[in-house]
Structures are given as structure tokens and as C-alpha cells.
Amino acid sequence: MRAKEKVPLSNFDCRGKTALITGAAGFLGGEHAMALLEVGAFVVVTDVDSRRLAIIAKRLAQRYPQKKFLSLQMDVTRPNEILETSRVLKRRRIDILINNAAMDPKVSRTDKASFADSRLEILSLEKWNREVSVGLTGAFLCSQIFGTKMAADGKGGVILNIASDLSVLAPDQRIYRKQGVSKSQQQVKPVTYSVIKSGLIGLTRYLATYWADRGVRANALSPGGVYKNQPKQFVQRLESLIPMGRMAKKNEYRAAIQFLCSKASAYLNGQNLVMDGGRSVW
């Protein structure tokens, strides 16, 4: 008798699973959504920004006309909105949660002072609280609400926290320096970013053990800097810190998302997959 033929990559198959992504209307959120649509998941894209959410929903509908997704406005800092999302979804069980939302100001060509209020000496408590509430508290709240449900029926699930190479590295503030600006006025990557991303790794480890006996796995993905037409000097400085000599392309995390959210990573739990072109090992 012939051995049963194995479907190639069948462990990546997410058909029958529902994934919810927070902050899905941003630069990488749409990529995460596409990654999961490609392996057959039903995807719920959520974001606080309804305008950008409509844009990403349109793009997904164009690329994936079979329409296996839903877009819902949801602010991760507001427990009532997360609970409302859970209610709207009714019987649709969330099997995969991607905590991706963050306040992540980009180094841009036009906005000269985008980090100007981020220097440690002057960073306001209000800014600290706002950023932590999105990037860290938001991940806790979503994990609490959706994770509890995953654990309750014993069918398990996957929680994936999107961290950053700055979960394992201190930011090298030299790469953000602008010419003609005094040292005390130089823009910096804010302390909140390091604290949030390191905190997400702690949250990941905690969740990975807390519901392990209920089949809920938790891992983190730590992307390195993704190229988005940033100023040439910034790109050159960052690339010089990366053994592979280049920033990431935005679609280079798709396969990792598929791996981390599917059965392909069934025995991976509590880990932080750092995909940074080798920056953190140099």
C-alpha cells in the first residue's frame, strides 16, 4: 500500500482559523494581513484610524477578491472597544492574535523634528503614558480579552507580539543625528520604544507559560528597520550596523508571520524571533 501523500507545507495551512491584527492599517499591518490571507486564514484587521483602515481594506479586497477578511475600528487602549469587537465577532473564535499596534514615528525626509519632543530630558509623562498605553498596555488588554477566550475552550491559540530589534538592543542614537542641530536638540528614538519592546518580550514569556496547558502559545517577532524611503544618510548609517548591509523589505516578514501563526511552529513557545539582518549579533 502506498504511504499517504503529504501536502507540501500543510503545516502552514491556516484555513478554518481566524486571526485578529491590531494596528493593521499601518505600514506593516497590511503585510501581516496578506501573509495570513495567503495561508487561508479569515483575517480581522483592526486599527484606531478608520480612514487608513478603509484604505487597507480596499487594498485587501482588490488583491484578495474572495474577501476573507473583516475590518473593524478598535482602539487597543480602550477595553470597552476590545470587548465590543469580541461581541461583534460573536461566534467567530479568534485563534490568532497579532499585537502589532504601536506609536512608531518614522524617520522621514520631510518631518525634520518628528522626534524632537522625545529626548529623555524633556519627554513628558503624558507622552510616556500615551505610548506605553498603546504599545504595551494595549497588547496586555488584547491578550487578556482574546487570550482568555482561547484558553477557555481548551482549543488553544497563538498570540504573536510584534516587538523590534530594539527589544534586544539599545537604540544607536547616532543614526538619527541631523547636521546643524545642537547636541541637546538632536532627535532620538524615545525611551518608551525600548521599554515597550522589551516589555513585550516579558509579556510574551508570561503568556507562553500562563496558558501553555490550555494550548495557547505566545511568541514575539522582532523586525529590524524596514526601508520606507527614509533619508539617504539615515539609511547608510543604519545599513552600516547590519551585517547584511541593507534594511528589510516590508514583505520579508510575511513568511515569519505564516510560520509563527501556524502549526509549523507548534513547538515554539515564549521565544523572540529577531529578524534584523544580523544587526543584533554584530
Ligand X SMILES: NC(=O)c1ccc[n+]([C@@H]2O[C@H](COP(=O)([O-])OP(=O)(O)OC[C@H]3O[C@@H](n4cnc5c(N)ncnc54)[C@H](O)[C@@H]3O)[C@@H](O)[C@H]2O)c1
| Candidate list 12, 13, 38, 52; residue touching ligand X; CB under 6 A | 52
* Cα–Cα distance measured from residue 111 to residue 107, given in angstroms and rounded to the nearest whole number: 8
User: Closest separation between CB of residue 247 and ligand X, Å?
Assistant: 8
If the CB atoms of residues 23 and 277 are measured against ligand X, the closer one turns out to be 23
- Which window, 3-11, 27-35, 84-92, 120-128, contacts ligand X (CB under 6 A)? 27-35
Least gap, CB of 118 to ligand X (angstroms): 14
- Kindly give the pairing relationship between strand 96-99 and strand 42-47: unpaired
Between 151 and 162, name the residue whose CB sits nearer to ligand X: 162
Cell of 83: 470587548
- DSSP-derived 3-state class of residue 280: helix
- Distance of closest approach, residue 155 Cβ to ligand X, in angstroms: 26
Per CB under 6 A, the list member of 14, 43, 104, 157 interacting with ligand X is: 104
**Beta partners for residue 19, in sequence order:** 43, 96
DSSP code, position 235: H
Q: Residue 35 or 151: which CB sits closer to ligand X?
A: 35
Size of the site for ligand X (CB under 6 A): 26
Least Å distance, CB 170 to ligand X, is 15
Q: For residue 75, state whether it binds ligand X (rule: CB under 6 A).
A: yes
Minimum CB distance to ligand X, residue 214 (Å): 26
Q: Which is nearer to ligand X, 157 or 190 (CB)?
A: 190
Contact 250, 196 (CB under 8 A): no
Between CA 18 and CA 97 the distance in angstroms is 9
Strand extents, DSSP E, 74-215: 96-99, 157-162
CA distance 24 to 44: 9
Does the protein bind ligand X through residue 27 (CB under 6 A)?
A: yes
Among 14, 23, 60, 199, binds ligand X (CB under 6 A): 23
Residue 184 and residue 176: Cα distance in Å, rounded? 13
Residue 117 corresponds to which cell in the numbers above?
Answer: 519632543
CB of 67 to ligand X, least distance (A): 21
Contact (CB, 8 A) for 196 and 135: yes
Q: Of 13-21, 72-80, 183-191, 204-212, which segment contacts ligand X by CB under 6 A?
A: 72-80
- Phi and psi (nearest 5°) for 43? -115, 130
Three-class SS state of 185: helix
Task: Count other C-beta atoms under 10 Å from residue 210's C-beta.
Answer: 14
Question: Which positions ≥6 away from 250 have C-beta within 8 Å?
Answer: 27, 28, 31, 226, 227, 228
H helix or E strand, kind and range, residue 19:
strand 18-21
Residue 203 makes contact with ligand X by CB under 6 A:
no
Residue 160 binds to ligand X (criterion: CB under 6 A):
no
CB nearer to ligand X: pick between 237 and 263: 237
Question: 39 or 102: whose CB is closer to ligand X?
Answer: 102
The DSSP output letter for 94 is -
Whichever of 151 and 203 has its CB closer to ligand X, that residue is 203
Residues contributing to the site for ligand X (CB under 6 A): 22-23, 25-29, 47-49, 52, 75-77, 100-104, 134, 138, 162, 164, 223, 225-226
